[in-house]
Amino acid sequence: MPLNGRWGSGLGMPLLPSQCRAARALLNWTQADLAAKAGVAVNTVKFFEMGERTPQEANRKKMRDVLETAGVEFIERGKGGPGARLRR
């Protein structure tokens, strides 16, 4: 279940904190790298990954989009996930 108890609109399956951490590790990116590339604050990434806060939908979408553009594929629950892997 998402942190805020709802999936949100227009996101499909939202980015989960564990997927965000895994995706950054696959790309060897720091939280600061992801924040800069997605145009969000470092604290947005930090607190999201810690499970402390749910970012605004637009910011979560920006993070997911930049990770996908960099080559990460997200795996949904029920399809072997949740998880993340590099696209082949």
pLDDT above 70 coverage of the chain, percent:
86
Distances (CA, A) of 69 to 5, 20, 54, 61, 74: 27, 14, 22, 12, 12
Q: How far apart are CA 81 and CA 33, in angstroms?
A: 25
| pLDDT value at 5 more than 50 | no
pTM confidence score: 0.82
Query: Under a CB-based contact definition with an 8 Å cutoff, are residues 83 and 74 in contact?
Result: yes
Does the structural domain 17-86 have CATH classification 3.40.50.1860?
Answer: no
Q: How far apart are CA 40 and CA 62, in angstroms?
A: 8
